[in-house]
Structure 1
Amino acid sequence: MDNTSVVQQLKDQLALKEQENQQLQAQLQHLRGWMNSLQQRARANDPHALLVARELYVGGVPEGTTEDDLCSFFNALMTCSGAQLDSGTSVVHCSITRDKGPPYAFIKLRSVQETSNALAFSGIQFRGSTLKVSRPSKYHPDWGVLLGPTSPDPTVNTSMLSIHSGSGSASPLANGGGEAPRKPSNPNRLYISGLPYNWRTQHLQGMLSPFGELKDCVVIVEKMSQKSKGYGFCEFADGAVVPGVIKALHNSLVEGRKITVKRADEDIAPSSASG
């Protein structure tokens, strides 16, 4: 078979794939239209159910935490894990209760889907405490399923976050909102922000690997466009090298951008990701 025939065969295959892709997109759009109409009808029948479906209970809140602290922390988690669907602020309201036992909070997000995605953060380490994230007791799954996804999107990436895998999904509010179990921090994990937007994971690995063996390393990208968000995470096999990495790289310039390097267990503020 000559080169001309091979090229034509490849063109035909690409054209067929494009046609199949267009058919799938049309089917997906049809299903989305049906889902939207179903959700609109459910919201019209019970507007209060929508408000409840956008709310989450957060237990184990450390003493001294403010509403702004918790909102900033969860908004940063939504961004760095890919749980955020659009730019802007995902968590729109937070209320902390302190008068009955250990503090607990309720957070409200802007959409049902982002609320479900935030369930993936149950067990997240925050200021030495493990947060318990769950639906409020007034949430009804039978109605919730009509308003949007009831569980996190499988593409939400929590692999580089300090999450206690033993945390369950049931709300501890029923037993008084007791304090969540503590978990030791991971001193080997770092958060690096301010990276050049053309960097990918291999670039970050190249910068960090001279300091020691890496167990894991990732640059966070936008879910749809796959464009870098300008920050990432890494974990070293030997925690003894971490102080040296921070000392050598924190506030250093990389392709004209000042980067931030700190332990991932420290509070992550959204502004730090902008570099």
Structure 2
Amino acid sequence: MATTTTTISSSLVTPPPTARALHHHHRCPSRLPVGAAPSLALRARRRRPAMVAASSSLLEAPEEVAARKLYVGNIPRTVTNDELAAMFADHGTVDRAEVMYDKYTGRSRRFGFVTMSTPEEANAAIESLNETEVGGRKIKVNVTESFLPNIDRSAPEPEPVFVDSQYKVYVGNLAKSVTTEMLKNFFSEKGQVLSATVSRIPGTSKSKGYGFVTFSSDEEVEAAVSTFNDAELEGQPIRVNKA
């Protein structure tokens, strides 16, 4: 009896999936809908490097950030963020420029911060711009704060007892170096200062950047506000108003 042999074209046979292929399909499902346009997949891939760059900037050491961030004081009230950035653009790449505004009045507080791309550019800007005139005012340019990793914060100096009074002023934008004694002596020029205090982070010697001064009369408070508001203390213009 003759034997009949049937030949099947290999193009019509789908081989069974291997175990490895099944495993890969299970672990790596498609992230895009079936039939999605190639441009959609391309856009999805392009977003990933930006996310990596943003996350890597968060890993920058605090001392590196402090070394390239500048305080700019005594600027005219009319200076905007863009104008502040333009002032520093000749000395390197400006990562950020921001004028500080009073949250109640909306007026410029006459100071701001500029972050350069490198410490070298920050130093160049200090050398070129500090004590130069902008709009008839001599501006102050310096590094915001030195990074002091070895400072002992466990045993801060005890502060004098603060004597409160109804005749009191708030003093803002204090430099980090201002102490309670310095604040008291500064305001003693205009009246009898009962007491003064610089607010600090509890348990440390680090200033919060503001304080209070008390007097014996309302006239002394008025004299302190009119005399010392926008005056410079330790290289920074301070803000003084009734507490």
Bin of the TM-score, shorter chain as denominator length? 0.3 to 0.5
**More helix as a share of residues:** 1
| Larger RCO, structure (CA 8 Å, separation 6 or more) | 1
**More strand as a share of residues:** 2
Larger Cα-atom Rg: 2
Normalised to the residue count of structure 1, the TM-score between the two structures is: 0.32
